[in-house]
Structure 1
Amino acid sequence: MTVVVAVYNTMPYLTECLESILGQTIGPDRLQVIAVDDGSTDGGGAELDAWAARYPDTVLVLRQPNSGGPAGPSNRALDRATGRYVFFVGADDRLGPEALERLVGAADETGADIVLGRLVGAGGRKVDQRIFAAGDRDAITLADSPLAWALSNTKLFRRALLEEHRIRFPEDMASCSDQPFTIRAVLAARRIAVRTGYEFYYAVRRTDASNITFRTPPVRLLQDTTLLLARAADLVSEPRARHNLLVRHFSWEVGKLLGKRFLSAGPDDRETVHQGVRKLADAYLTEAARRDLPVRHRAAISVAQYGTADDVLALARHYAEHRLRPAIADRGRYYVAFPGFRAPGRGFPDEWFDATAEAIALDRQDGPATLGWGRCPDGRPALLLRWPTWIPRQDGEPAPAVQVRRGPSAPAELSRATAAAAIPVDDLVRGESHGRFRDITFRRGARRYPVTASDVSAAGRRLHRLGGRLFLVGVVCGPDGRVGVEVRRITVRRMAARLRRTLVRG
């Protein structure tokens, strides 16, 4: 099989990448590695020569002046490829040791023209996992799976498929060129398989954030996104597959144009991006796709389509500072109060700002909890908890509660932005779990999440009497931030032992 590596200034990551390829369990005698040096200036060319000298029958190094993106180098490598299968590896990424052997085995077993092996992020990079969530599958399509969210070229391709349909990378795109390539391939493939039981590929975020995805300036990214959407529209006609692609492209490529990149751009570039996104939305964004966008992208793209560049800028600044806050509850729906929401004279529909689906999925604590000792409304000593929340309570919603594992629960008050509860200390010391860490959770409807904090030193320990017994009650923060309580009964024997230890130390 053939492994293609397009190389441009990726040292020292290139070394680890090549080690992971030449160390594959499939063996170098079954590999053809074609590395194309796209005008590197960081010593990457010399590194490639060293590996070619070490593996002269396996590694082929090609050189060309810098082309501005991976498409040209990848096409040149494809023209020299001889393997039954082709796999593309980013020069700053790496493979799991058994990756290629497992992928070839899956392709031979299923007859698949394309095999996706599970990708994971490294160095802080995030990789969408939706395509892998359902486990191994032997046949998927753009219409019946989240394949639209996995359009990178980091897959195993049957080379005969690529040659039969003359599938190549568009060289007029500096970024995203792998997506039209992959879309053409998945549409032509007879079978596409997914394998999830192994970490096949590690997508690395470089410490200098200089992956081409991160370094492409906004106006050029707009140009590439415009080409991408036009090609996707030309290629895909099946309604469900087209819908899935539109949701992906507007959520990801178009959405990225209106976030951090928009904030860092100058006024002229912001206006260019604003007008470009408006044209893309006018041309391609269906109302069904708009409804399926995450609220942050739905709001930003809709405001770009029907508002001004200043409106988009205000929304981008708000999201950078406040994310999806504040949330507003209204007649069973949740909305994010982005700039423009119900603004007089703007006429922006509430639907653009509707976060109900995400609120249900992302109901969570929205900041560290504070804890201390105080009293319940009825005067009993209690552990008091308070933390910020994202989602306000709706009228008629069942009361939420906090609960100590294998122990008591207490009703929680949920205001617009805060949850609060008081757990009577009498309830904490009852039970058979003394001496054990018991975490505290927050239950709201069918959802439950652990209460977390960054510092519980203000609560400390408390001596508590229940009947004729004494207990030491402590608030503890676990290594993952989870808050819990530990209860220890104070007996005469323990008090005597502690006194002896004190005297000995004295």
Structure 2
Amino acid sequence: MTVATQPDVSVIIGAYEAMPYLVECLASVEAQTIDPARLEIIAVDDGSTDGSGECLEEFAARVPMAVTVIRQKNSGGPSGPRNVGLGRASGRYVFFLDADDRLGPEALERMVAMGDENGTDVVLGKVEGINRTPPKSMWGKTLGRTDVFSSNIKFTLSAQKLFRRELLAEHGMRFDESLFTGEDALFTMEAYLRANGVSVLADYPCYYLVGRDDGKHVTKSGSYTLRFDSARALMKLIADMVPAGDKRDLLMIRPFLITLLPQFGPKFLKDSEEVRRHKLELAKPLTEAYWTPGVARRLKVHERLRLHLVAMQRPELLVDVVEFVKAKKQAGALLERRGTRVYFVYPHFRSKAAGVPDDIYLAEAREARAIHGYRAVAANSFLRRALRKVRRMLSAKDFKPAA
């Protein structure tokens, strides 16, 4: 009699009309260097009609690792299959693999080792793109232990991470099936915030994000109202879990910049007046609740300006700014206070009729450094201040009170 051992990883694959991409996805699972006995695969066919279910069953019959195939009626989104798979998982960790993407051969072995070595609850493996643009800002350095406040991981909230299952079970975490898009952002942000540390494996391509030839990606489809639903849910989660202040503002950048702002980009120019009004109505409660100076100052000037005009419900001014940005025009730079302040002269700068505060156009140091001559002027200004400080110190030292 043999005693079954707990697998290290439960790989959960939700498949819907995934052919022929599913073939290479499964091949990447079969090619994993981790011992097959340490894996279990839970594959959920979400009502496919293109042979995806049959492909999964053929895979299950052929490979050495444990595979469970579940076939169900279409649920309408990725959350349902993931939740079904999560309910059947028994591994120490779970990994959510999209059926049209692929794993690097050593991905699971490396990620499990990283989580075990550092005792972390979430492990991010480097993502590369095939006909798609992956997130990039968080892969600069491998980090054994970090958190959502100390790194750029807030800009990768897709579900394709290694999660310690004990964490998910402890908090009853599941994907929100009421959201058509952004459900993974909600799940992953909650995991980041609840985790006892996050690891980033940046020196090996663990995950390949594949662009489908038919362009059928959930994140690219659906009504604009779904994006507002996603932003609303993520902002509420952050507000519920993080007290008001710098840390909350730091996280709020993500839904404002990635989810909300694109609704007021070039596509806004093509929207009807009715849609424009509706977008502003949907944005109003979000900006009233969560748009703060702490969020604003962390954005680039043109991003801050557009969101400020959204918050002020000024579509007539917003259109001018969006047209300017769409045309890829270079905003003029105005240096004041001996070069220590740089304003980007986007539309309506210092217009009395518009009434937009100067600070909205003020470049933070990171953005200002790109301006020709700024560094030299700023360095001279710093040198002048240092010399004045030295003179004051010398004067104080030489001063002798009368006897």
TM-score, with structure 1 as normaliser: 0.67
- Name the counterpart of 2:265: 259
Contact 2:127–2:134 under 8 Å retained in 1: no
| Structure 1 unaligned regions, length at least 5 | 364-390, 399-506
- Name the counterpart of 2:96: 88
Q: Distance in 1 between matches of 2:357 and 2:212?
A: 41
**Counterpart residue identity of residue 254, structure 1:** L
**Counterpart residue identity of residue 273, structure 2:** P
**Which structure is higher in RCO with an 8 Å CA cutoff and minimum separation 6?**
2
Q: Residues 15 and 319 (structure 1 numbering): CA distance in 2 closer, same or farther, change over 3 Å? A: farther
Q: Residues 266 and 24 (structure 1 numbering): CA distance in 2 closer, same or farther, change over 3 Å? A: farther
**Counterpart residue identity of residue 330, structure 1:** L
Give the alignment partner of residue 107 of structure 1, picking from 101, 115, 122: 115
- Name the counterpart of 2:334: 329
Q: Distance in 2 between matches of 1:268 and 1:198?
A: 48
> Equivalences for 1:107-506 in 2 at 5 Å?
107-130=115-138, 132-133=139-140, 135-237=141-243, 239-322=245-328, 325-331=330-336, 332=339, 333-355=341-363, 357=365, 359-360=367-368, 363=370, 391=371
**Counterpart residue identity of residue 29, structure 1:** A
Q: How far 1:205 sits from its partner (Å)?
A: 3.1
Which one has a bigger Cα radius of gyration?
1
**Counterpart residue identity of residue 292, structure 2:** T
Contact 2:17–2:48 under 8 Å retained in 1: yes
Q: How far 1:8 sits from its partner (Å)?
A: 2.5
**Counterpart residue identity of residue 96, structure 1:** G
Please say if 1:70 is aligned against 2:113: no
Q: Distance in 1 between matches of 2:190 and 2:49?
A: 33
Contact 1:327–1:392 under 8 Å retained in 2: no
- Name the counterpart of 1:58: 66
**Partner deviation per Cα, 1:380-436 (whole Å, 9 max, x = no partner):** xxxxxxxxxxx56679859xxxxxxxxxxxxxxxxxxxxxxxxxxxxxxxxxxxxxx
| Structure 2 unaligned regions, length at least 5 | 1-8, 379-403
Which stretch of structure 1 is more off in the superposition, 287-296 or 4-13?
4-13
**Counterpart residue identity of residue 176, structure 1:** G
Contact 1:334–1:359 under 8 Å retained in 2: no
Q: Distance in 1 between matches of 2:26 and 2:247?
A: 36
Contact 1:142–1:241 under 8 Å retained in 2: no
Report percent identity of matched pairs: 37
Q: Distance in 2 between matches of 1:21 and 1:336?
A: 50
Q: Residues 225 and 14 (structure 1 numbering): CA distance in 2 closer, same or farther, change over 3 Å? A: same
Q: What secondary structure is seen at the aligned counterpart in 2 of 1:178?
A: helix
**Counterpart residue identity of residue 158, structure 1:** R
Q: How far 1:336 sits from its partner (Å)?
A: 3.9
Q: CA RMSD, aligned part only?
A: 2.5
The count of aligned residue pairs is 367
Contact 1:143–1:240 under 8 Å retained in 2: no
TM-score, with structure 2 as normaliser: 0.83
Contact 1:294–1:358 under 8 Å retained in 2: no
Q: Distance in 2 between matches of 1:14 and 1:147?
A: 28
Q: Residues 82 and 345 (structure 1 numbering): CA distance in 2 closer, same or farther, change over 3 Å? A: same
Q: Higher helix proportion, which one?
A: 2
Q: Residues 207 and 68 (structure 1 numbering): CA distance in 2 closer, same or farther, change over 3 Å? A: same
Q: What secondary structure is seen at the aligned counterpart in 1 of 2:70?
A: strand
Q: Distance in 2 between matches of 1:396 and 1:104?
A: 48
Q: How far 1:156 sits from its partner (Å)?
A: 1.0
**Counterpart residue identity of residue 64, structure 1:** Q
Q: Distance in 1 between matches of 2:214 and 2:320?
A: 29
Q: Distance in 1 between matches of 2:310 and 2:172?
A: 38
Q: Residues 52 and 314 (structure 1 numbering): CA distance in 2 closer, same or farther, change over 3 Å? A: farther
Q: Residues 165 and 396 (structure 1 numbering): CA distance in 2 closer, same or farther, change over 3 Å? A: closer
**Counterpart residue identity of residue 167, structure 1:** M
Q: How far 1:163 sits from its partner (Å)?
A: 1.0
